Amino acid sequence: MLTPADPADDSDAGRPRIPTPEEAAAYRPAQDLFVAFLDTVSEATLGRPLRPRMKVSVAGLLRGEVDLLKLELPAYAVAGLIIDRFIVRAEHLRVAPGIPPTLLAGPVGLRAVVSQDNVDQWTRQLRLPVRLQLTEEGVVTTAGIGGIRMTEILTTPDISGGFLRLRPKRASLLGVPTPLVRFLRGYLPLPPLPRDAVLESVISGDGEITLSFRIEEFRQSLTPDVRKRLRQLLDLPLPGLG
């Protein structure tokens, strides 16, 4: 949970439990994220196979892999936050034999585009104690009491211990610039990312933000359930997928 620190109150009483970076680094969420992704896509497509854009070369087929897979989903929800556009770009997609076989890809790029309206709806639903305003400078995080704006912090998205957080760049208290020390705590209440995910770029605009992530290598064991859903959705020409 994202919580602005009160300079006058150092007590943690009543605050939501926030995982430490060490705890977050111990998570292994890739499989859960992949299965959840398949479930969401299945629901969004109402059981109809997706039509991804693929590039398959003769050399790739001889190696048993797809050179490039690009998949775009509109209105994809993550932990209640509606992402206006979610794009997956996976290179060298292949299946390694084994018991069970393993789906491999790398590098894998993820790009998410989020609008201000969906961010506002998300913060209201979760009753977050802050407002996140998407601007050309970054994400402006504000908190107040009774309609009075107490704090305003200019932040930029960052990854810490597998969690997406907002890193403060400058802050003000009642309109007066103030030091950033301990002014912003916690992480955004979103699922953890794979441990090796890297935030490649952040493009901020007025009312919209685009986050691009990169995973050098993706591995997913193809249990019968996962293999069946993946084949129904994408119908990829990968040996060992059937």
Judged by DSSP in three states, 46 sits in coil
Above 50 in pLDDT, residue 38?
yes
- Show the domain range for 73: 18-234
Number of structural domains in the chain = 1
The residues pairing with 154 across neighbouring beta strands, listed in sequence order, are: 140, 170
Over residues 28-37, the pLDDT tens digits come to 545 555 555 5
Rg of the chain in Å (alpha carbons): 20
CB 92 within 8 A of CB 67: yes
Identify the H or E element spanning 215: strand 208-215
Over residues 77-111, the pLDDT tens digits come to 788 888 888 888 999 988 888 888 888 888 999 89
pLDDT given for residue 195 in this prediction: 72
240 domain-assigned: no
pLDDT given for residue 237 in this prediction: 57
9 domain-assigned: no
In the 8-state DSSP scheme, what is residue 226? H
208 domain-assigned: yes
Distance between alpha carbon 105 and the CA centroid of its chain, in Å? 18
Above 90 in pLDDT, residue 135?
yes
Mean of all residue pLDDT scores within the chain: 75
109 domain-assigned: yes
12 domain-assigned: no
126 domain-assigned: yes
